[in-house]
Structure 1
Amino acid sequence: MNVRFDFSGKTVLVTGAASGIGRATVEALVKAGAAVGIADIQGDEADAFAETIRGQGGAAIGLTLDVRDAAATERAVEMLEDELGPIFGLVTAAGLSRPAPAESMSEASWDLVMDTNLKGMFLSCQSAGRRMLAHGAGAIVNIGSVNSLGGFAGRSNYCSSKFGVAGLTDVLAIEWGRRGIRVNAVAPNGVDTPLVRQGIPPSFVTEVLDDRTPMGRMALPGEIASTVLFLLSDAASYVTGSMLRVDGGLCSGFYTHRQGADLASAALLRDGVYSE
């Protein structure tokens, strides 16, 4: 990517930052001069990533964080400001999926996904937002999904949480807009990360996902990261309350022979819940 932004002197917290979209966002922010808090439930991986960045001359701190824990979130944000200075930006990339047909989805699976993807996002926005409000400036980018806009078989928990991301983003934009804080979200299509590749059958990628996407492929993590940096930057100074689709044209309308009936889960396929 050739997009260039300047975040010199700015501190940004990224949750879910040890892998996937979060990791790509951290890499892009560091290249743009930001000091970055790398928050992840996998604390050892967050620390190792931060150490690598510092070894390359960047400013970063690793933070072990379960975003479902309000007290831990407060401690992480406080530590970030103590180490790297006042927080300017937040990117909420922490999230997970636990697919199952709606009729057999467990309460534990529902709660885990909702608590991580939506409650955890709210707690991160609340903790960082309080400090941004005190500083009188800031920008937040929440990682939603095309499933913030429409459903996906086998993922009633995930889609409900991502619809919630859209609502939360709108409300925070309304409440905080006059107080100097912009709040936006991105809605990616499938993103080509190891976790996504592990979670869906290979045939679904080629026969369904690529087929129904006008650009004919999944997004690269860096393509999502560059959009996140745009929304954090002054180039988006009059953008708030938006859910920006980064979907390769998917939501413009897709038609495939499967018509969305495939549950698209490697785990459920192995367990015999459905067949290809």
Structure 2
Amino acid sequence: MQLFDLTGKRALITGSSMGIGYALAKGLAQAGAHLVLNARNAERLEEAADKLRGEGFTVDTLAFDVTDADAALTAVDAYEAEHGAIDILVNNAGMQHRAALEEFPADAFDTLMRTNVNSVFYVSKAVARHMIKRGAGRIINIASVQSALARPSIAPYTASKGAVTNLTKGMATDWAKHGLNCNAIAPGYFDTPLNAALVADADFSAWLEKRTPAGRWGRVEELVGAAIFLSSPASTFVNGHTLFVDGGITASL
């Protein structure tokens, strides 16, 4: 369907060498997008790119640290000058750190905020400057059910994802007039490397299955449809929205 066709579009996905980022990249490629993978680990990044190329997709790599504003700006400007427009940006890079709030290390808090919030601002600003000149662009920020909910030991993560949701609203407010669509996807509990310890915890998995109306962990492939929708002509009048993909966990007490 043409409404969901991404043929001819170039998509930059941060943190895309594994997990949700890799799954979203593959999904966008299946919809026709030319991929630009990003991660800090260049070796792991090339491995992911080669795997996707082996499936017939067109893939570039752009290794830079998303928590470094100057590095993001330099990398994006150089890529656009050499290869052309980045039409879609998915801000997926993120991290987790678990500790009781009263004992949460200050340096861990700062690192988490730089990774989960600052990076969204830095990379979006670098890409949006070009999108604004063209009068078009799609930015998708990866939020979380923790944008709306909290659990013990992850209060700073909850704060960071709440910030991502509100930053998304701010992006839409400032940039919609320039033709940009800025939205967020808020995953629930998905079986990813970031959640490996929780997946392996039988008690937690049992709690999650009871707490989630769908009764299970999410599969990363189940986020792809939302990403394609928000990247495509199907969502031209959707702006500043956070789409929860969570098996119903935020809908149910």
Pairwise same-fold verdict (TM > 0.5):
yes
Mapped to 2, the partners of 1:84 and 1:33 lie a distance apart of 17
Task: Kindly report the root-mean-square deviation, in angstroms, between the aligned alpha carbons of the 2 structures.
Answer: 1.7
State the shift of 1:241 in Å: 0.5
Change (3 A) 1:122 1:232: same
Tell me the TM-score normalized by structure 1: 0.87
Structure 1, residues 156-198: CA drift from partner, whole Å, max 9, x if none? Answer: 1101100100110000100011110010001111111133123
Deviates more, 1:129-138 or 1:4-13: 4-13
Q: Report the counterpart of residue 104 of structure 1 in structure 2.
A: 103
Q: Report the counterpart of residue 156 of structure 2 in structure 1.
A: 157
Quick one: which amino acid aligns to residue 25 of structure 1?
A: L
Q: How many residues align?
A: 252
Q: Report the counterpart of residue 32 of structure 2 in structure 1.
A: 33
Mapped to 1, the partners of 2:67 and 2:214 lie a distance apart of 36
Q: Report the counterpart of residue 136 of structure 1 in structure 2.
A: 135
Q: Report the counterpart of residue 210 of structure 2 in structure 1.
A: 211
Mapped to 1, the partners of 2:176 and 2:117 lie a distance apart of 21
Quick one: which amino acid aligns to residue 103 of structure 2?
A: S
Deviates more, 1:55-64 or 1:12-21: 55-64
Quick one: which amino acid aligns to residue 34 of structure 1?
A: A
Q: Report the counterpart of residue 192 of structure 1 in structure 2.
A: 191
Q: Report the counterpart of residue 247 of structure 2 in structure 1.
A: 248
Mapped to 2, the partners of 1:54 and 1:212 lie a distance apart of 39
Deviates more, 1:100-109 or 1:68-77: 68-77
State the shift of 1:200 in Å: 5.4
State the shift of 1:90 in Å: 0.4
- The residue matched to 1:18 in structure 2 has which SS? coil
Change (3 A) 1:234 1:204: farther
- The residue matched to 1:87 in structure 2 has which SS? coil
Q: Is the 8 A contact 1:141 1:185 kept in 2?
A: yes
- The residue matched to 2:87 in structure 1 has which SS? strand
Q: Is the 8 A contact 2:39 2:65 kept in 1?
A: yes
Change (3 A) 1:51 1:81: farther
Quick one: which amino acid aligns to residue 213 of structure 1?
A: T
- The residue matched to 1:64 in structure 2 has which SS? coil
Change (3 A) 1:124 1:199: farther
Q: Report the counterpart of residue 257 of structure 1 in structure 2.
A: none
Q: Is the 8 A contact 2:198 2:204 kept in 1?
A: no
Mapped to 2, the partners of 1:204 and 1:77 lie a distance apart of 44
For structure 1, which runs of at least 5 residues remain unmatched after alignment?
Answer: 255-276
Q: Report the counterpart of residue 223 of structure 2 in structure 1.
A: 224
For structure 2, which runs of at least 5 residues remain unmatched after alignment?
Answer: none
Quick one: which amino acid aligns to residue 57 of structure 2?
A: G
Deviates more, 1:15-24 or 1:38-47: 38-47
- The residue matched to 2:129 in structure 1 has which SS? helix
Structure 1, residues 127-181: CA drift from partner, whole Å, max 9, x if none? Answer: 1111110111001110000100121210111011001001100001000111100
Q: Report the counterpart of residue 92 of structure 1 in structure 2.
A: 91
Mapped to 1, the partners of 2:61 and 2:47 lie a distance apart of 8
Q: Report the counterpart of residue 235 of structure 1 in structure 2.
A: 234
Mapped to 2, the partners of 1:100 and 1:162 lie a distance apart of 17
State the shift of 1:199 in Å: 4.9
Q: Report the counterpart of residue 174 of structure 1 in structure 2.
A: 173
State the shift of 1:83 in Å: 4.8
State the shift of 1:72 in Å: 1.3
